[in-house]
């Protein structure tokens, strides 16, 4: 059975397993197995090349921002109108086939912008050269997820799932977990706050999947099995993200008022250059968080 089939099998088992105190350990085990398979998919045994021709762009400037989104949502138009860089635009999908860089200057800083090829569902599994695209996104200090304002929630959830599957955590802090492997002494768990999901048995189950039999674990927040898996895997990146709801010229003022209340969102029209001032201010605010 191939890796993708095993991943699908585990995801199906997780979906049909009720989440309760009795199943926490089993779900934790499945999450650890899933994470290991995804790592193997991303980093095949025997090594693998870089991001690939046309994808790997040298870092320049003080910060790097990647544009991520499905095809034909306006990423290329946004780059062209923000940075004055020509990125091919057309009324059909997959116009951009390589990473197109640009640079803007804002408040004395040079910010590199990367227009990445449109991803599709299954990108994290390699569809549409998705692994190369998301690999570049992992190198960015800030991600712009560009969404079509007419179908934002549908696309937002799909893209988040693709990035999550590649070890990218959006607008999150690293889990507040102390973790140290040791030579002997078994698994020691210390909890500084009450836990709703993790207990010593679940922690042991997850660590045993990684063949870790001796470790000290300190839970400083109410943590989940996913948090512990992220810490053990050790290859997660935590990147701030702004959701750009593009094509607001196609919606009403009332709809625009609702969009403004959505966290981490900036409504824009890349074509008409509407609301670019708000976008740049938000960009600057989030880049300051990266520096802290």
Reading the chain (292 residues) residue by residue, the pLDDT tens digits are 788 899 999 999 999 999 998 999 999 999 999 999 988 877 755 554 444 444 668 888 999 999 999 888 999 899 999 988 755 444 434 444 588 899 999 999 999 999 988 887 776 666 656 778 888 899 999 999 999 999 888 889 999 998 998 899 999 999 999 999 999 999 999 999 999 999 999 999 999 999 999 999 999 999 999 999 999 999 999 999 999 999 999 999 999 998 888 899 999 999 999 999 999 999 999 998 777 5
- Rounded to whole angstroms, the maximal C-alpha distance in the chain is 64
DSSP state of 274: B
Q: What is the pLDDT of residue 179?
A: 98
Please tell me the distance from the alpha carbon of residue 285 to that of residue 282, in angstroms, as a whole number: 5
How do the domains of the chain map onto residue ranges?
Answer: 3-47+175-233, 63-172+236-291
Torsion of CA 184, 236, 284, 271, to 10 degrees: -170
| Coil/strand/helix, residue 168 | strand
Please tell me the distance from the alpha carbon of residue 212 to that of residue 227, in angstroms, as a whole number: 17
Residues in the chain: 292
**Two structure tokens written together for 142:** 């800030």
Q: What is the pLDDT of residue 231?
A: 98
**Two structure tokens written together for 242:** 């702004």
CA nearest neighbour of 91 among 114, 70, 71, 118: 71
Question: With contact defined as beta carbons under 8 Å apart, do 229 and 202 qualify?
Answer: no
Q: What is the pLDDT of residue 56?
A: 67
CA nearest neighbour of 198 among 183, 182, 181, 176: 176
196 Cβ contact partners less than 8 Å away, ≥ 6 residues apart: 222
241 Cβ contact partners less than 8 Å away, ≥ 6 residues apart: 142, 143, 144, 145, 170, 171, 264
Please tell me the distance from the alpha carbon of residue 43 to that of residue 191, in angstroms, as a whole number: 33
Q: What is the pLDDT of residue 131?
A: 78
Fold entry, domain 63-172+236-291: Rossmann fold (3.40.50)
Handedness of CA 147, 92, 136, 281 (dihedral sign): negative
């Amino acid at each position: 059975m191939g890796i993708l089939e095993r991943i699908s099998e585990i995801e199906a088992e997780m979906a049909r397993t009720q989440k309760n105190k009795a199943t926490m350990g089993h779900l934790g085990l499945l999450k650890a197995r899933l994470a290991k398979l995804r790592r193997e998919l991303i980093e095949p045994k025997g090594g693998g090349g870089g991001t690939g021709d046309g994808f790997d762009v040298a870092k320049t400037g003080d910060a790097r921002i990647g544009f991520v989104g499905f095809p034909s949502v306006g990423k290329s138009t946004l780059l062209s109108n923000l940075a004055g860089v020509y990125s091919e635009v057309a009324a059909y999908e997959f116009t951009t086939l390589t990473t197109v860089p640009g640079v803007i200057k804002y408040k004395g800083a040079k910010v590199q912008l990367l227009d990445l090829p449109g991803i599709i569902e299954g990108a994290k599994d390699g569809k549409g050269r998705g692994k190369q695209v998301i690999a570049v996104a992992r190198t960015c200090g800030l991600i712009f997820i560009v969404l079509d304002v007419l179908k934002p929630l549908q696309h937002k959830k799909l893209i988040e799932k693709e990035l999550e599957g590649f070890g990218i955590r959006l607008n999150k802090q690293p889990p507040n977990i102390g973790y140290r492997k040791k030579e002997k002494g078994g698994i020691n768990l210390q909890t500084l706050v009450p836990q709703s999901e993790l207990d010593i048995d679940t922690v042991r189950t997850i660590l045993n999947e990684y063949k870790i039999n001796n470790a000290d674990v300190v839970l400083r927040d109410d943590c989940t099995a996913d948090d512990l898996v992220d810490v053990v895997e050790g290859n997660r990146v935590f990147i701030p993200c702004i959701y750009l709801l593009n094509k607001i010229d196609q919606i009403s003022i009332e709809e625009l008022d609702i969009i403004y209340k959505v966290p981490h969102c900036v409504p824009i029209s890349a074509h008409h250059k509407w609301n670019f001032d708000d976008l740049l201010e938000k960009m600057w605010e989030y880049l300051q968080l990266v520096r802290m």
